[in-house]
Structure 1
């Protein structure tokens, strides 16, 4: 059983909302718990954004409900029409994430016989706000996320898996089942890493004043993600194209060796960013530029010898050279990042 921070915070937010309703004598408290469930977010910025959006759309939903009760009615058909209207307006306002809770607000107000009492309507609306506020407080105070640390740990994990797959892709050493399992895990982890980067970027750019070193770090982290995405693309190209070319041992060695060198370069860059490697200005970068150019020339020669059968090798070679390019870019960004840090 996985009990992550978000699961833990959801439980606390629900408990807090129920206790607040109990002490303020607000009934039924279950609506506050539902509001807390819908509002809890994985980041502080998204919590603030969600709070503002929820207040706006829930106020809109409450106003529409109030208008309907006094001037139109509250039979099931009207409630259904109001639901469609609220959904349409929320989409128009580009606040799709608030739709479920806004619909709960409309139902909470319109689904009881006493809904013509203004105090009753305000009571229900206040209960919803208690749930929203509870989720925000919990997100701010309980286990605040460290996105930089989480992101770097995840990039390392993704790289280790990608490294294994790339090193064994051409030699085809892994069993089909194992390769497919690891590939699926790599794809899922990269998607999660993309979400982590978005949250890291939001926290840095939306909630604080950026220093030059912060800007450099965001750009560098984005490039880290790009290199991993490019490594995944190599794997996809090898799986789809390589074994259909009837490659011989010399071609296997050429591609395997180039991939191995780039994996070592990638590992070197992680160590360089972590400050575990002595700075060697442009040494690895220039070496990789020359070796990548030489590799592609050899792949092009193979293609020219048998254009019909070896065309697919060029697709793979191009993705390998692009991976090299992104690694070189990452190398440059690490140097720039440390230069700004020293200032």
Structure 2
């Protein structure tokens, strides 16, 4: 079992909110704990955004509940209709993430006896705000997210899995169960990496004045993601088209060899970014360009020999060529990034 930073921070936020309610004699404190759970976010910007959105929608929810108590009543049908109204308002304001906690606020106000008392309503509302505030403080001060480190670690992990699959895809060395299991894991990890990049880019766009981030490095990170996505596409094409093309042993070796070269190049680029390789002044890139050109010409020859049968093989070849272009672009961006840093 792995306890990540977000899990750890959720536990601390819940504890803090309960202690604050205990200190201020606010009951029932459980609503503050629920609010803290819903408010914890994976980034600083999203924490601020969530705080603002939660305050707005929870204020609206409390106002709607107050209006209903005095003018419509608090029977189950009315409460159900209010839930629908609150959800509609939150969607209209594009604050979908606040819906669960806003509904909790409305229920907290309407589902208890004595809810006609304005002090009771303010008490419930303030309890919710304690939970929201506790989550924000914890998110800002406890284990603040290291976006660059997290992103690079995840990128490396995804690449390791992808390289294993690409190296064994054509040769079909892994068992079908193992290959499909690893492929499914790769798809899930790439989706998570896409989410991490969105968070990283969000921080750059929204909090750049508070925490400057190197835009060129962001571009490098985006290209890293695109190369991994293209590697995933090769795997999908191999599974969908390669084995149906009736490739010969010679063609298997031909494809397998070039994929192996590209994987080594990809691995080299990770080391290059980390500053762990000797400077080759573009030699590696030039060799890959030549190899890719030769691979493309040979693929065309195979296709022309039997267009009907080898069209599937050419689809795989095209995705491999595109992968090589993405790698070359990543190489160039890394060079540009380090040149600017030196200056």
Alignment TM-score, normalising by the size of structure 1: 0.97
Unaligned runs of 5+ residues in structure 2 are: none
Quote the residue 2:288 is aligned against. Answer: 288
Residue deviations 1:219-246, cap 9 Å, x none? 1001001101100110111111111111
Q: How many angstroms apart in 1 are the aligned matches of 2:7 and 2:276? A: 36
- The alpha-carbon deviation at position 113 of structure 1 amounts to 2.4
The answer on whether the counterparts of 2:204 and 2:212 sit within 8 Å (CA) in structure 1 is no
* 188-197 or 217-226, larger mean C-alpha shift: 188-197
Quote the residue 1:187 is aligned against. Answer: 187
Quote the residue 1:318 is aligned against. Answer: 318
Q: Does 1:338 align with 2:310?
A: no
- The alpha-carbon deviation at position 280 of structure 1 amounts to 2.9
Quote the residue 1:257 is aligned against. Answer: 257
Residue deviations 1:96-118, cap 9 Å, x none? 11000000101111112211111
1:120-139 paired onto structure 2 within 5 Å: 120-139=120-139
CA separation of 1:159/1:58 partners in 2, compared to 1, >3 Å: closer, same or farther? same
- The alpha-carbon deviation at position 281 of structure 1 amounts to 3.0
Q: How many angstroms apart in 1 are the aligned matches of 2:149 and 2:213? A: 17
Quote the residue 2:153 is aligned against. Answer: 153
CA separation of 1:253/1:189 partners in 2, compared to 1, >3 Å: closer, same or farther? same
The answer on whether the counterparts of 2:234 and 2:316 sit within 8 Å (CA) in structure 1 is yes
Q: How many angstroms apart in 2 are the aligned matches of 1:127 and 1:213? A: 37
- The alpha-carbon deviation at position 193 of structure 1 amounts to 1.1
Q: How many angstroms apart in 2 are the aligned matches of 1:137 and 1:211? A: 18
Task: Kindly tell me the number of residue pairs found equivalent between the two proteins.
Answer: 343
1:261-272 paired onto structure 2 within 5 Å: 261-272=261-272
Quote the residue 1:58 is aligned against. Answer: 58
Q: How many angstroms apart in 1 are the aligned matches of 2:141 and 2:213? A: 27
Unaligned runs of 5+ residues in structure 1 are: none
Quote the residue 1:98 is aligned against. Answer: 98
The answer on whether the counterparts of 1:159 and 1:228 sit within 8 Å (CA) in structure 2 is yes
Q: How many angstroms apart in 1 are the aligned matches of 2:223 and 2:115? A: 55
Q: How many angstroms apart in 1 are the aligned matches of 2:212 and 2:169? A: 40
Q: Does 1:48 align with 2:48?
A: yes
Quote the residue 1:5 is aligned against. Answer: 5
What is the DSSP-based 3-state SS (H/G/I as helix, E as strand, rest coil) of the residue aligned with 1:231? helix
Residue deviations 1:161-220, cap 9 Å, x none? 111111111111111111111111111111111111112222232222399971001110
Quote the residue 1:36 is aligned against. Answer: 36
The answer on whether the counterparts of 1:45 and 1:202 sit within 8 Å (CA) in structure 2 is yes
CA separation of 1:210/1:220 partners in 2, compared to 1, >3 Å: closer, same or farther? farther
Q: How many angstroms apart in 2 are the aligned matches of 1:129 and 1:153? A: 35
* 127-136 or 249-258, larger mean C-alpha shift: 249-258
When the two chains are superposed, the root-mean-square deviation of aligned CA atoms in Å is 1.4
Q: How many angstroms apart in 1 are the aligned matches of 2:213 and 2:127? A: 44
Q: How many angstroms apart in 2 are the aligned matches of 1:212 and 1:119? A: 45
The answer on whether the counterparts of 1:26 and 1:127 sit within 8 Å (CA) in structure 2 is yes
CA separation of 1:64/1:210 partners in 2, compared to 1, >3 Å: closer, same or farther? closer
Runs of 4+ in 1 over 3 A off after TM superposition: 210-213
Q: Does 1:87 align with 2:70?
A: no
Q: How many angstroms apart in 2 are the aligned matches of 1:107 and 1:58? A: 11
* 269-278 or 216-225, larger mean C-alpha shift: 269-278
The answer on whether the counterparts of 1:212 and 1:340 sit within 8 Å (CA) in structure 2 is no
* 322-331 or 188-197, larger mean C-alpha shift: 188-197
Q: How many angstroms apart in 1 are the aligned matches of 2:213 and 2:340? A: 6
